[in-house]
Chain A
Amino acid sequence: MTPSSRAPAWRRYLRFWGSNVSEDVDAELRFHIEMRVNEYVAQGMSPDDARRLATQRFGDPERARDSCVDIQQTHARSEGRAELGAMLAQDLTFAARVLRRQALPTIVAATCVALGIGATTAMFSVGNTLLLRPLPYPSGDRLVSIGTVRGGVRNSGATVSSFPDMLDWRARERSFTRVAAAHRVDLTVASGQPIRVSGAAVTANLFATLGVTPEAGRLFQDDEDLPGAAAVAIVSHGFAARHLGGVESLVGQRIRIAGARRTIVGIVPDRWAYPVNTEIWLPYGRDPNRESRGERNLEVIAELRAGVSLAAANADMTSVGTQLARENPDHDGNTMPFVQPLRESFVGSARPGLIALASATVLILLVGCANVAALQLARASSRSREIAVRAAIGAGRGRIIGQLLTESVLLALVGGVAGLGLAFAARNVIARAIAQNAPPWMTFDIDLRALVFAMIASMFAAIIFGLAPALRLTRLDPVATLHGGRSSVDDGGRLQAIFVVLEIALSVVLLVGAGFAVQSLLRLGNVPLGFEPSGVATFRVAMQGQRYDSPAERARVVAALSERVGAIPGIESAGATTYAPVAGCCSQFGTTIEGQATAPGRGLMVTGNLVLLGFFRTMRIPLVAGRDFTNADGENAPRVVVINETFAKRYWPAGDALGHRIDTGGGMAAVVGVVGDIKQGRLIDPPEPQFYRAYAQDPWTTVTFVVRARSGNPLKFAGDIRQAARDLDPIALPVSRLVTLQERIDSSISTNRVLGRLLAAFAVVALALAGIGVYALMSFVVTRRTRELGLRMALGAAPQGVLMLVLRQAATLAAIGGALGLAAGVLAARGLGHVLYGISATEPTIYVVAALTLITAALLASAGPAKRASTVDPMVALRAE
């Protein structure tokens, strides 16, 4: 117990961090005993006796010590909690004050964050719906769709399987509890005005596979899909409510569907409709022995057996497919089934767009963060003195970093809340861009998960842009800062420059992406269509019911309707075809060419249409050789065919196609004419061989009419057109999908258009942010170098020289950032290639334009600071500081 054993004096300061209570108590008790010893010694006792007596008098020092320490520590803990709360409150108040005081930088920074958080959150909510939220069907994520790969093309849509194939799959597979199929078909429902309804002919177990229960009535019974079963139907709730006057007592009623009376046996909720948007379900009801394996009109779903993995199901179906290919080489020879989650059939096509936009939004968020970090760093230089003062009066580094991060977090939260607003507005735009055919249950709400995401993203952003300035500021030496002005915080803005370079690079990536998207749009706008869409409307007519069982009657009605529509005053001409051009694709026919051999088992498949007289004229498709169809090409006349230029050139390179004969099913037909190529399917696809046959010689039940108005919008004749159809058949000839041809074309490229717009918007935002970043950096640099610049001018440097000095620095940054951005841009463009039509990643112009745009923006942004630098008054500058 000698004084030398005492802790060094500096240890006392550790008490600010709440540590050595026990050491203090020991010191206190020791002092007491010492004093008592001194007292006894003064009374004449020997030191040993005095110590013994003093210790004895004190009692149990251990117990006293322990209870003192306990009292102090209990107190310290509760005090600590209160202090932490007070500290947080203090930090928040201070942060709010700082942010309010610097309103403009705060608004700019919060806007940066808001844009980033808004875009990413909107994107997240879309992705959340597409990829994370469970499917609405009770069987949920055990549902799979079975698709097929035919000749290298994966298909999981409406034309996967034929009825006999599907039955064989069902009989041989071991992976599923149920395999169900649906054939989509438009149905005419006559209940008052005839209407066209999306329907499906389904196997009886479809709803059981989905796990659906009826809202009223019952589902199909097991044998109801056999040929000759009772005529029944199930309708959706929405259909019942809209067209049948409500769902009350509807079960048991009979309505006329596709020309036959059927009894409604059940009603199912809309959200469970499968295929999506189906309103009426009929039992499939066909005889498998009378169906061809080549007639692939079914989509197939199944429910995985418990414990069976997707991979196992795939292996199972592959072996089934291999057997079938061996047994039916003609039809199944190059067809192989595969299994994928049902979700894929809803989102599969949206995935590339989702990835492209998700990447773009993350880039925007990063640009925003880099920008805020750069702004904060610039502000940091003006705050170094404040921080130094706070450090000097005893604030620890952790405390100051905490304070600065509180500011960042507050900023991020303000930005995050604004961003949520943006996300709310933007989510549907984004959703429409990438998932146009979204089923109705896919609502793109900002749900709890999206809120949590926005929260986390904001915090993440706050840390990204807040930590660097905080660490930087607190590393400075208070003494030097207080003495020497700002010098100690300063590394010439290098860290800030790094952020700005990063920002520029990211912006270039976005610019490149936007460039490609816009280029893709421009290309699509200029694609030669092969016909003239302006002024043309198209509509569909389907003939169902007994009257139309006769081909001759169909041919007569279609010809009559075309004639009546063509005679409407203001209509220039009318015609008809089976599938309208552009996204109305297609029917393919096995074709043989007389005198030209095709490899066995690899029949030539050619896209074909059955057209009515007037089609080529109405579409203004040029006749290249031979003749158009005439009225003479009727039912009993010799079969004739018109082919397109590509067909003619490919198979008769000598140019003598006319007069040769081809068989597209139904016998040999003579080539009587050659017409120009048109875009039958997607705009980007190169022209393929195509043929046209006379409708009268093979009258299908479904026809698309084309109508050209003399001037103006052809849809103004909609009423006249519907009336013409009603005049011909008041109950069973509904006109559906009446749109302009231009609308069809536009909607076929709507993904491109919306993606293009969004990416362009993102790029503009990024460009603006990068501009702000460069401006802030250069302002900071100029301010910092005022003295040096003044000195240069005092020594005779010309103002232009100083101007160039600053601009050169900005240009260097832009060049470095631009180079990095271009490298990343190549990758981005390659990714976009999967989403957008007609772009190739090796397109130098776009890279050059993107880089030049950015460098120009950087120079413009630094023009202000540079001008300021060149007008520095040497005398003022040298006197400063």
Chain B
Amino acid sequence: MGVMAEPSVEVLRGTLDLLILKAVSWAPTHGYGVARWIEQATSDVLQIEEGSLYPALHRLEVRGWISAEWGTSENNRRAKFYTLTVKGRAQLRVEAATWTRFAHAVFAALEAPPQPA
């Protein structure tokens, strides 16, 4: 990883929540795991700001979309694991659909032929 000069895309507002929900949707995952997954899944294109990852996690926890539990990490450390709740899964579906529609719309706009004036 080391190449910090590579251009990265800032995560859009509201998108971080969606990515977090997706990240914890398979198995209980700690914050670092969420960050790593996002980096890997987007081939390091999306670099999330780690300082805002944790407040986002806590906000989602408080909202009841994810639940938290202390456990032991793969390297035997005590870590806080987040799991998607039933409510969170529903939210994930809704937000994913919304985002996809949004993205399609933006694409469509970008691909559209130039309009006569």
Complex Cα distance, B70 from A39, in Å, reads 22
Q: How many residues of B contact A (CB 8 A)?
A: 24
B78 touches A31 (CB 8 A): yes
Q: Which of A508-524 contact B (CB under 8 A)?
A: none
Fill in one digit per residue for A124-161: 1 if any B CB lies within 8 Å of its CB, else 0: 00000000000000000000000000000000000000
Q: Which chain A positions have C-beta within 8 A of B80?
A: 24, 27-28, 31
Q: Is A68 part of the contact surface with B, judged by Cβ < 8 Å?
A: yes
A59 touches B54 (CB 8 A): no
Complex Cα distance, B32 from A6, in Å, reads 19
A38 touches B70 (CB 8 A): no
Complex Cα distance, B56 from A307, in Å, reads 70
Q: Which chain A positions have C-beta within 8 A of B57?
A: 68
Contact of A60 with B51 at beta-carbon distance under 8 Å, contacts A43-B2, A72-B62 already known: yes
Q: What is the distance, in angstroms, from B52's C-beta to the closest C-beta of chain A?
A: 7
Q: Is B73 part of the contact surface with A, judged by Cβ < 8 Å?
A: yes
Q: Which chain B positions have C-beta within 8 A of A25?
A: 54, 58
Complex Cα distance, B77 from A68, in Å, reads 21
Fill in one digit per residue for B51-82: 1 if any A CB lies within 8 Å of its CB, else 0: 11111011100100000001001010111100
Contact of A75 with B51 at beta-carbon distance under 8 Å, contacts A24-B80, A32-B35 already known: no
Q: Is A64 part of the contact surface with B, judged by Cβ < 8 Å?
A: yes
A-B contact count (CB 8 A): 69
A64 touches B1 (CB 8 A): no
Complex Cα distance, B35 from A36, in Å, reads 10
Q: Which of B1, B51, B70, B79 has the most CB of A within 10 A?
A: B51
A31 touches B79 (CB 8 A): yes
Q: Is A12 part of the contact surface with B, judged by Cβ < 8 Å?
A: yes
Q: What is the distance, in angstroms, from B35's C-beta to the closest C-beta of chain A?
A: 7
A67 touches B70 (CB 8 A): no
A64 touches B32 (CB 8 A): no
Q: Which of A14-31 contact B (CB under 8 A)?
A: 24-25, 27-29, 31
Q: Is A57 part of the contact surface with B, judged by Cβ < 8 Å?
A: yes
Q: Which chain A positions have C-beta within 8 A of B30?
A: 28, 31-32
Q: Which chain A positions have C-beta within 8 A of B31?
A: 28, 31-32
Fill in one digit per residue for A25-65: 1 if any B CB lies within 8 Å of its CB, else 0: 10111011011101100010000000000000111110111
Among A24, A39, A59, contact of B51 (Cβ-Cβ < 8 Å): A59
Contact of A28 with B54 at beta-carbon distance under 8 Å, contacts A3-B77, A34-B77, A59-B49 already known: yes
Q: Which chain B positions have C-beta within 8 A of A12?
A: 70
Q: Is A795 part of the contact surface with B, judged by Cβ < 8 Å?
A: no
Q: What is the distance, in angstroms, from B104's C-beta to the closest C-beta of chain A?
A: 32
Complex Cα distance, B50 from A59, in Å, reads 7
Complex Cα distance, B70 from A71, in Å, reads 18
Which B residue sits closest to A64, measured CB to CB? B51
Q: What is the distance, in angstroms, from B77's C-beta to the closest C-beta of chain A?
A: 6
Q: Which chain B positions have C-beta within 8 A of A58?
A: 50-51
Q: What is the distance, in angstroms, from A248's C-beta to the closest C-beta of chain B?
A: 76
Q: Which of B55, B59, B70, B79 has the most CB of A within 10 A?
A: B55
Q: Which chain B positions have C-beta within 8 A of A64?
A: 50-55
Which A residue sits closest to B76, measured CB to CB? A3
B58 touches A29 (CB 8 A): no
Which B residue sits closest to A63, measured CB to CB? B51
Q: Which chain A positions have C-beta within 8 A of B35?
A: 32
Q: What is the distance, in angstroms, from A828's C-beta to the closest C-beta of chain B?
A: 64
Q: Which chain A positions have C-beta within 8 A of B59?
A: 71
Q: Which of B31, B49, B50 has the most CB of A within 10 A?
A: B50
Q: Which of B1-59 contact A (CB under 8 A)?
A: 1-2, 30-32, 35, 49-55, 57-59
A31 touches B32 (CB 8 A): yes
A68 touches B49 (CB 8 A): no
Complex Cα distance, B50 from A770, in Å, reads 73
Among A27, A35, A43, A59, contact of B78 (Cβ-Cβ < 8 Å): A27
Which B residue sits closest to A45, measured CB to CB? B2
Fill in one digit per residue for A79-90: 1 if any B CB lies within 8 Å of its CB, else 0: 000000000000
Complex Cα distance, B69 from A24, in Å, reads 11
B58 touches A71 (CB 8 A): yes
Complex Cα distance, B61 from A71, in Å, reads 10
Among B2, B32, B58, contact of A32 (Cβ-Cβ < 8 Å): B32
Q: Which chain B positions have C-beta within 8 A of A6?
A: 78
The 6 closest A-B pairs by CB, nearest first: A59-B51, A35-B32, A67-B55, A75-B62, A64-B51, A71-B58
List, sorted by A's number, 7 A–B pairs whose CB atoms are closer than 8 Å: A24-B80, A25-B58, A28-B30, A31-B73, A35-B32, A57-B50, A60-B51
Other A-B pairs, 7, CB within 8 Å; known A28-B31, A68-B54: A24-B80, A28-B54, A31-B79, A32-B31, A58-B50, A67-B58, A68-B57
**Residue ranges of B at the interface with A (Cβ–Cβ < 8 Å):** 1-2, 30-32, 35, 49-55, 57-59, 62, 70, 73, 75, 77-80
